[in-house]
Structure 1
């Protein structure tokens, strides 16, 4: 009788060893990457700007057996982001005025494989395979660090401002299939997208949210000014002499600028004056004034946000007019000669 019972016990143990694989509900999660920050981008930059960020994917399986194991095939999908509509040829981030900046995300350091949303498609999602043991008492887990490689292409015509695009919800999706085995090595699923022939299949949106950012500083250049010539006058000035000159500049789009004019080299208080030095070293003056408007009612000075002229760049050359007036003279007739003054132009942006 004892021999029979022993054989029966061995048969039960053998049957247990060949039981169907356990289902321990493997779960994969990812950490949130730090922001992918490109820093300051120069309008029309001659070279591309690169940046990277990274995150970790971890898969955990509850206890299976002494010889248990699990294997996971995970696809990490990155979409267009909050401010774009295409993956190819580039993604796009925008500033507060919805001006675009092209950028791209890649799965490799050489930045040749665009990171997309289609497993084994175009552009492909990143694929990760994790295999690890799952001991009886503690369970097991596997982890891998993933790097996102970003690039802002060179030679872009950009606007000033802070640019960003957020990747959340379906834009950062994790899809994975897994196999679990109570004995031996679990085989990796052939695909991350199937629930057939595997121990399990899951998806999770907003799995690794992050933000892409860049900044374009205001920029002005190509300054051109013309002289203001009041012409010739015989004797005293008996009526207003009105003349104009111009200030030209080119500022990238959305660049707010302000132009100030100082009081010149011979001012008396706030009154601008042209000066003539006679051969005998006697000095003579003719007063004049500069204005921001054709009616010559708004004096053009150098106090920011008070009497300066403001504008916003559009990426093309812009010309501003300076309105000048030499009023009628009083007192002695000005000495015959060539009167002049030098004005310093200050451009703030």
Structure 2
């Protein structure tokens, strides 16, 4: 009799609560009969788990908030560096931004502090050669032309601004925070590996769903800040000879060449102390045999010559030890002067005349 009453109560409980989401009440009714109705209890528990699972799949959830973060770190290698300097660029660190339910527009500003060897300076920054404590100067920029220094927040340096757009439905988009590096020429350094670490970056961002915010700190509907890490900046310095600059030899504008016209240019190089070097010049791209010529590009030419001395008596050629300009390295920048002359000659047509000469450094 008690068992029948318990079953009737259990059935009433299930019928009474049919369609009601308050499943724990059904479980309490089903438990009145005690252990003899374990089967009923098991079915009720399974039903509860199934409903919760279905609710997790189909019930509309709250949209995830828009946000940005950095999944990578800054790493830049200059590779092999000589006294002539070098440039390099990095595709990291990265910035990942996530939209909400709708397409989201992000505007970010990237700032980068000094590393652990720069003593707070970013102009220049410095890498260290640990065996000798020698430091190599370098610079980081936000543009490929290397005119916009990348600096810390509040340092008064140009703002590195980037935009990104992520479509709706919690979509993520990743943008590289590309950094452009330069090691300047003319440094006298110990050969070996140089490095600097701990360049921590800071990114401010704002976002909106109707277009890009006014800036990375104002406008839009929200924003935030995140930081980036660094796995290091490094370079391998090789103490060897290198040409750093060769200036143009510009003879200017004239109305005639009834008399000779002279001009000079310079070539700057660096070689380790005691290293013998020889600097050669070829005959140019438009020479006729050994006669150097400038052209207007239309088959007309003006003859000219290059010399090693101010008296313009020693022709400058490309045979080491014969007609080259020779010297010995000092470990610092050295300059060789090119003495040019356009001799008096008839010119068939007015125009702009030019030539390209290749400089060869032998050591």
Shorter-chain TM range is 0.3 to 0.5
Q: By percentage of residues, which structure has more strand?
A: 1
Q: Which structure has more RCO (C-alpha within 8 Å, separation ≥ 6)? A: 1
* TM-score relative to the length of structure 1: 0.46
* TM-score relative to the length of structure 2: 0.45
